[in-house]
């Protein structure tokens, strides 16, 4: 039997990585242009970090984490998301002490979810966090920055939903209203929700059970219970977005599945990818850093799912620039092969950007030329014993019907530069 990957975990093959790199590169350029700096974090953290940040009574912590004991008996978890690790790293490294940080990171996340198109057990995120900023201006800038990313990538069919969850204190009041409501419809709740009613009633709102949809639809909404400061914060955010020409809808049902959120939450959703439509989601988490033992630090961020981003890029007709070689070196016979090594390495010194593929594994002139064509290269550089003796090679255009040229070895870089310029 052929070995299989772990269910829900995918190989990203070279044809796909070309697109991934292009998309990730564009995103990175935008993030850096807004002053975000990269941070790289471990894939493993102590389990306790996620329990405390994401919340004990959430789908992620209850059902989806890859948790194990290491050889020392310590409980570790493969990160299901990036925000907890970011906050932890901010505290550990003293990055938040009288400082503000605009950071981004990327890499794989792990959740034991039911795999389907767009939903995997290992998936990649690009995660952005602004820590130490409390105003609605940074909320707006983060959203505007994501809109700029869509524009750079040529994406359409994305809509923005926003909501406010208030402060931890105002949520307490809402919690009481919510409990009273759900107590009244107790007989319609499932087992999970009855348990959550005691422990974390807001998490009933993101139940995936379709039978609960009507009950959840009719539940009171947080927006009606916002404290004054959160109300003003949300109104200012809306004003900045309006002025910036960003379309959004206020979705008072948007609660997000992680406990650390306060105030602003948002999601960019597409209808182009089937049921897994959330491409980028985030929000404010003003209490998290303090809860984890750091100095009180307001913060906000978002994460985008790279698989979904790439799928949407392709669905919108996006293409990565091709990565075919510029020149494929055909070297027939031992003398030619030996000479071609020196030639190619000199060329790499002279033109570091040039993509050069040297024919490996020998073969007849015909079969090498076939490979050259298949590689997608613009030109074949052809060497045989005669060419080596004359210190000249044949430069054959493969994508146009131009003539094959004879080029002295030491003029190859100049000839290629001018030929490549001609073909654009
Ligand atoms: P999240 O909504 O759980 O938020 O995930 C963010 C994004 O990751 C989603 O919008 C989706 O694109 C992608 N995603 C999530 N789960 C999967 C999966 N199983 N397969 C494929 N893609 C997936 C967070 O993770 C927060 N840490 C975001 C954040 C950053 N909030 C503040 N700062």
SS3 (DSSP) at 36: coil
User: Kindly report the CA angle at 230 between 228 and 231, in degrees rounded to 5?
Assistant: 60
Pocket of ligand 1 (CB under 6 A): 81-83, 111, 113, 118-120, 123, 125, 127, 129, 278-283, 301-305, 307-308
State how far the alpha carbon of 223 is from the alpha carbons of 71, 259, 387, in Å: 47, 17, 78
Quick one: how far is CA 190 from the chain centroid? 34
pTM: predicted TM-score of the whole model, two decimal places: 0.94
- Please count the CA atoms within 13 angstroms of the CA of 370 that sit on its side-chain side: 6
Cβ atoms < 10 Å from Cβ of 413: 17
Structure tokens at 327: 């020149």
Point out the ligand 1 atom lying closest to the alpha carbon of residue 60: 3
The pick from 61, 254, 281 for probing ligand 1's pocket by mutation, whose C-beta has the most ligand atoms within 8 angstroms, reads 281
Structure tokens at 63: 């059902």
The H or E element that residue 189 is part of is none
Helix axes 334-350, 412-423, angle to 10 degrees: 70
The H or E element that residue 249 is part of is strand 249-250
The H or E element that residue 165 is part of is none
CA 256 / ligand 1 centre spacing (Å): 10
Atom 15 in ligand 1: residue holding the nearest Cα: 305
The pick from 105, 121, 165, 303 for probing ligand 1's pocket by mutation, whose C-beta has the most ligand atoms within 8 angstroms, reads 303
**Pairwise CA distance, residues 153 & 228, whole Å:** 38
**Pairwise CA distance, residues 348 & 73, whole Å:** 51
CA 176 / ligand 1 centre spacing (Å): 29
Atom 17 in ligand 1: residue holding the nearest Cα: 119
Q: Which of 85, 87, 74 is nearest to 110 (CA)?
A: 85
CA 281 / ligand 1 centre spacing (Å): 6
188: which DSSP letter?
G
- Tell me the helix, strand and coil percentages in the chain, rounded to 5: 45, 20, 35
CA 287 / ligand 1 centre spacing (Å): 20
| Alpha-helical regions (H) of 316-411 | 334-350, 365-374, 385-390
Point out the ligand 1 atom lying closest to the alpha carbon of residue 82: 27
**Pairwise CA distance, residues 131 & 286, whole Å:** 9
Judge contact between 24 and 106, C-beta under 8 A. Answer: yes
Query: Facing residues of 106 across strands?
Result: 126
From first to last of the 424 residues of the chain, give the pLDDT tens digit. Answer: 999 999 999 999 999 999 999 999 999 999 999 999 999 999 999 999 999 999 999 999 999 999 999 999 999 999 999 999 999 999 999 999 989 999 999 999 999 999 999 999 999 999 999 999 999 999 999 999 999 999 999 999 999 999 999 998 898 899 999 999 999 999 999 999 999 998 889 989 988 899 999 999 999 999 999 999 999 999 999 999 999 999 999 999 898 989 999 999 999 999 999 988 999 999 999 999 999 999 999 999 999 999 999 999 999 999 998 889 999 999 999 999 999 999 999 999 999 999 999 999 999 999 999 999 999 999 999 999 999 999 999 999 999 888 999 999 999 999 999 998 887 7
């Amino acid at each position: 039997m052929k070995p299989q990957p772990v269910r829900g975990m995918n190989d990203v093959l070279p044809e796909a990585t070309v697109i991934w790199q292009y998309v990730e590169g564009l995103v990175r350029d935008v993030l850096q242009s807004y002053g975000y700096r990269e941070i790289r974090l471990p894939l493993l953290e102590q389990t306790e970090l996620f329990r405390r940040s994401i919340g004990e009574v959430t789908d992620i912590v209850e059902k989806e984490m890859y948790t194990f004991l290491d050889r020392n008996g310590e409980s570790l978890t493969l990160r299901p998301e990036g925000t907890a690790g970011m906050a932890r790293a901010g505290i550990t490294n003293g990055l938040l002490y009288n400082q503000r940080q605009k950071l981004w990171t990327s890499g794989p996340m792990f959740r034991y979810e039911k795999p389907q198109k767009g939903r995997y057990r290992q998936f990649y995120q690009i995660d952005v966090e602004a820590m130490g900023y409390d105003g609605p201006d940074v909320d707006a800038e983060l959203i505007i920055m994501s809109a700029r990313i869509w524009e750079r990538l040529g994406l359409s069919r994305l809509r923005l939903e926003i909501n406010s969850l208030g402060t931890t204190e105002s949520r307490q009041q809402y919690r009481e209203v919510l409990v009273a409501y759900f107590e009244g419809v107790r007989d319609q709740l499932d087992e999970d929700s009855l348990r959550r009613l005691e422990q974390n009633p807001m998490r009933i709102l993101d139940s995936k059970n379709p039978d609960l949809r009507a009950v959840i639809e009719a539940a009171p909404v947080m927006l009606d219970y916002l404290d004054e400061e959160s109300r003003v914060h949300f109104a200012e955010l809306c004003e900045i977005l309006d002025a910036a020409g960003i379309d959004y809808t206020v979705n008072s049902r948007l609660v997000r599945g992680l406990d650390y959120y306060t105030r602003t939450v948002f999601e960019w959703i597409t209808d182009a990818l089937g049921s897994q439509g959330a491409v980028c989601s985030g929000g404010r988490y003003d209490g998290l850093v303090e809860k984890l033992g750091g100095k009180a630090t307001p913060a906000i961020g978002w994460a985008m799912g790279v698989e979904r981003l790439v799928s949407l890029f392709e669905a919108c007709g996006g293409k990565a620039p091709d990565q075919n070689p510029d020149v494929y070196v055909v070297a027939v016979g031992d003398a030619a092969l030996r000479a071609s090594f020196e030639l190619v390495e000199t060329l790499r010194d002279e033109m570091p950007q040039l993509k050069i593929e040297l024919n490996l594994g020998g073969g007849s002139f015909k079969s090498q030329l076939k490979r050259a064509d298949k590689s997608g290269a613009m030109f074949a550089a052809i060497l045989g014993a005669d060419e080596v003796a004359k210190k000249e090679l044949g430069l054959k255009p493969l994508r146009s019907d131009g003539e094959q040229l004879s080029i002295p070895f030491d003029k190859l870089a100049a000839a290629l530069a001018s030929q490549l310029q001609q073909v654009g």
